[in-house]
């Protein structure tokens, strides 16, 4: 058993493994047109990833979120360390990081590819590829409300 964590808005909690948002919009590691599931090695890292992308609104207006504990098959992951990546992999324009993973995005040899977090480079985010045959083996083991402490928030 290998556990990873994902934060989703409550309104999307009924489809916790959907990749439609990243397929349409793209992300740091994937261009639009290719949907992958972004997860993290620890719940705190999943929270940080969400916080950095939240709009600056009053705390009372934050949407409700769910924290998911996701089980991925053993032996289905590989990790790329920051030292293995070209310089500026974490710049704010995503074209470089999307290009780095172009081979894996086109033909995933593993279900879960670990990449350094751009917010916390010592942390690992796991990208799960919908086109990999083991994607159907992913299981959500736990789901609970994610409470964002007000001390972490200032609009």
User: Strands, E, within the chain: which ranges?
Assistant: 2-9, 36-40, 65-72, 77-79, 112-116, 124-129, 139-146
Q: Strands, E, within 32-149: which ranges? A: 36-40, 65-72, 77-79, 112-116, 124-129, 139-146
| Residue 155 or residue 85, greater confidence | 85
pLDDT tens digits, residue range 105-127? 999 999 999 999 999 989 999 99
How high is the pLDDT of residue 150? 86
pLDDT at position 46 over 90: yes
pLDDT on residue 155: 62
The whole-number pLDDT of residue 65 equals 94
> From CA 59, how far away is CA 135, in angstroms rounded?
35
Per-residue model confidence as pLDDT tens digits over 54-96: 888 888 888 999 999 999 998 899 999 888 888 888 887 788 8
Cα separations in angstroms, 80 against 54, 105, 119, 141: 27, 14, 16, 26
Tokens, residue 19? 């990749």
């Amino acid at each position: 058993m290998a556990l990873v964590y994902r934060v989703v808005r409550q309104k999307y909690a009924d489809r916790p493994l959907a990749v439609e948002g990243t397929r349409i919009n793209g992300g740091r590691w994937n261009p639009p047109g290719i949907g992958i599931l972004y997860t993290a090695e620890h719940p705190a890292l999943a929270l940080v990833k969400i916080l950095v992308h939240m709009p600056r609104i009053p705390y009372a207006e934050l949407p409700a979120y769910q924290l998911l504990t996701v089980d991925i098959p053993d032996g289905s992951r590989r990790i790329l360390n920051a030292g293995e990546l070209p310089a500026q992999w974490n710049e704010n324009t995503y074209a470089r990081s999307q290009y780095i993973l172009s081979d894996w995005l086109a033909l995933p040899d593993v279900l879960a590819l670990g990449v350094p977090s751009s917010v916390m480079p010592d942390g690992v985010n796991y990208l799960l590829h919908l086109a990999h045959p083991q994607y159907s083996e992913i299981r959500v083991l736990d789901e609970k409300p994610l409470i964002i402490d007000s001390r972490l928030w200032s609009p």
